[in-house]
Amino acid sequence: MTVRDLSVAVVGGGIGGLAAALSLLDAGIDAHVYEQAADLREVGAGIQVAPNASRILHRIGLEPVLARIGVRPGHWHQRRWDDGRTLLRTDLGDAAIEAFGAPYYHVHRADLLAALAAQLPTERLHLGHRLTAVATHDDRAEARFANGTTVTADAVVGADGIRSAVRAALFDRDRPQFTGCIAYRGLVPADRLAHLDLPVEAVAWLGPGNHFVHYYVRGGALFNFVSVIDRDTWTAESWTEPGAVADVLAAFEGWHPLVREIIGSVDETFVWGLFDHPPMARWSDGRVTLLGDSCHAMLPFIAQGAAQAIEDGACLAACLAAAPDDVPAALLRYERIRLPRTSHVQGLATTNKQRFHLPDGPAQAARDAEMAQGSTDWSFKAIAPIFGHDAAVLPET
């Protein structure tokens, strides 16, 4: 069998699924995407696209559109919660290209999803397909949908998110644990904050029990923020539950006036609970495998959730292209390569949750001193293994 004889059915039309299909097509593999929704939708929130993801997006044809819809921040800036003192300020901009060979972008999630969908040939995107069953056989895989359609392909890939139907069909449903944090997100028209003269950079304010992140998206027309707050209990894992701006302001009482002014400028905010999904022991069964949030949903404390899903698709395409005659072996190779890396990044995100929210005291002072030495996350020295990685280049063993 040649690469061009291979067919892959990708279940899920989010950022990870669409990027995977485009990487598969770029490798010469016949790929189709099956999405349960009647139309593609993404939440109104920003996303950070680090060089390890942007190099793949450029490779599959999105460089021109990313230059238009994205914002390239000049720095990653971590600041103290009350007085605004700089804890760490890392050059991005051209420095990221020089160091890692690809740029760092801030993008609106809906804009990135639309760009990926526009790049995929229309006949390869199938909406209104809710998965009901998946099966793997010696010579094929099958996906069955609620509309009566059955799709047969050489491989089926579950890119269907944290509530993955493909994962549930292959393995037990995971049991995420509440992290003790909730997050509020908001978007503000940039001209509403023009008087603050905010620089084009990603800023994280670190403080006792909370942290606050903000940056521009949509070519600089919108200002995105996410505030993460310690809380004892939460039940739903949803991105779309309305929140109260007054509650966010109350949680950031005593914080720097700039933080409070940004929060107070938003018209509406949405809140969700942050749940920890432990790394899975395996992703694949025969000719069926998983990708992105379906197998490694990440906490947002290292801004790598979408990036790792995009990496998954590039690695999957490379593994299938390298062994078109043995799809199960190719999927196992993909799993062996990707699972340790994504588990490592998940662990870094979990560690950052604790580090970002330290109360003032000896541990916080030690953290700040370490950051001043440039030896923690977001310094180039520390982040190079993540940002410098090319997921399409397979290790020799």
Q: How confident is the model at residue 391 (pLDDT cuts 50, 70, 90)?
A: very high
Is residue 74 within 8 Å of residue 200, measured between CB atoms? yes
Band the pLDDT of 388: cuts 50, 70, 90: very high
Token output for 287? 């000719």
Do 1-39+127-174+278-351 and 43-121+177-276+358-391 come out as alike in CATH topology?
no
- Contacts (Cβ under 8 Å, ≥6 apart) of 359: 208, 209
pLDDT for res 234: 65
What's residue 197's pLDDT?
A: 94
1-39+127-174+278-351 belongs to CATH 3.50.50.60: yes
Amino acid letter at 7? S
Q: Phi/psi zone of residue 144: left (φ > 0), alpha (ψ -120 to 50 degrees), beta?
A: beta
Give residue 362's pLDDT: 95
**Is the model's pLDDT at 156 over the cut of 70?**
yes
Strand partners for 86: 79
- Under a CB-based contact definition with an 8 Å cutoff, are residues 201 and 95 in contact? no
- For 10, 20, 26, 115, 222, the CA distances from 58, given in Å and listed in that order, are 21, 13, 12, 12, 23
Question: Distances in Å between the alpha carbon of 11 and those of 83, 102, 167, 209, 255?
Answer: 48, 29, 11, 38, 44
Lowest-pLDDT choice from 185-189, 214-218, 237-241, 287-291: 237-241
Residue 42: helix, strand or coil by DSSP? Answer: coil
**Cα separation, 62 vs 55, whole angstroms:** 10
Q: Would you say 313 and 24 are in contact if contact means Cβ atoms under 8 Å apart?
A: yes
Q: Which residues are catalytic?
A: 215
Q: Each residue of 127-148: pLDDT tens digit?
A: 999 999 999 999 999 999 999 9
How is residue 115 written in tokens? 């760009």
CB neighbour list of residue 362: distance below 8 Å, 6 or more residues apart: none
Does the structure show a pLDDT above 60 at 237? no
**Mean predicted confidence (pLDDT) in 367-380:** 73
CA 99 to chain centre: 22
Of 152-161, 291-300, 344-353, which one has max mean pLDDT? 152-161
At 180, the amino acid letter reads G
DSSP state at residue 176: -
Q: How confident is the model at residue 187 (pLDDT cuts 50, 70, 90)?
A: very high
d(CA 42, CA 38): 13
If you classify domain 43-121+177-276+358-391 with CATH, what class do you get? alpha beta
- pLDDT tens for each residue of 302-330: 999 999 999 999 999 999 999 999 999 99
Of 51-55, 205-209, 299-303, 386-390, minimum mean pLDDT range:
299-303
pLDDT score of 123: 97
Tokens at residue 130, please? 């809710």
Q: Where are the domains of the chain?
A: 1-39+127-174+278-351, 43-121+177-276+358-391
Which of residues 42 and 259 earns the better pLDDT score?
259
Distances 307 to 49, 92, 225, 343, 344 between C-alpha atoms, Å: 6, 17, 19, 14, 14
pTM: 0.94
Dig out the tokens for 37 from the structure.
């929704």
Is the predicted pLDDT of residue 238 greater than 70, yes or no? no
Write the CA distances from 370 to 322, 353, 375, 377, integer angstroms. Answer: 43, 16, 6, 10
> Is the pLDDT at 106 greater than 90, yes or no?
yes
pLDDT value, residue 172: 72
- 397: pLDDT confidence band, cut at 50, 70 and 90? low
Q: Identify the burial level of 122 via C-beta atoms within 10 angstroms of its C-beta, where 0-12 means exposed, 13-18 middle and 19 or more buried.
A: exposed
